[in-house]
Amino acid sequence: MTDVSVIPMTAAHIETVACLEQACFSAPWSAASLAEELENPLAVFRVAVDGDGQILGYMGMHHVGDEGFVTNVAVFPAARRRGVAAALLAHMADYAAAHRLYRITLEVRLSNTAAIALYEGAGYVRDGVRPAFYRNPTEDAAIYSRYFQ
d(CA 16, CA 14): 6
Question: pLDDT-based confidence at 77, cuts 50/70/90?
Answer: very high
Question: pLDDT-based confidence at 55, cuts 50/70/90?
Answer: very high
What's the confidence (pLDDT) of residue 2?
60
Structural domain that includes position 93: 5-147
Amino acid at 94: D
The predicted-structure confidence for 57-73, as pLDDT tens digits, reads as follows 999 999 999 999 999 99
Provide the percentage of residues in the chain whose pLDDT is more than 90: 95
What's the confidence (pLDDT) of residue 94?
97
Average pLDDT in the chain: 96
d(CA 51, CA 57): 13
Phi-psi bin for 107: left (phi > 0), alpha (psi -120 to 50), beta?
beta
The predicted-structure confidence for 95-121, as pLDDT tens digits, reads as follows 999 999 999 999 999 999 999 999 999
Residue 54 has pLDDT above 90, yes or no: yes
Q: Does this model's pTM top 0.85?
A: yes
Question: How, if at all, do strands 67-75 and 5-8 pair?
Answer: unpaired
141 to each of 14, 56, 64, 116, how far by Cα in Å? 27, 25, 21, 11
CATH number assigned to the domain comprising residue 13 = 3.40.630.30
Residue 1 has pLDDT above 80, yes or no: no
Tell me how many domains the chain contains: 1
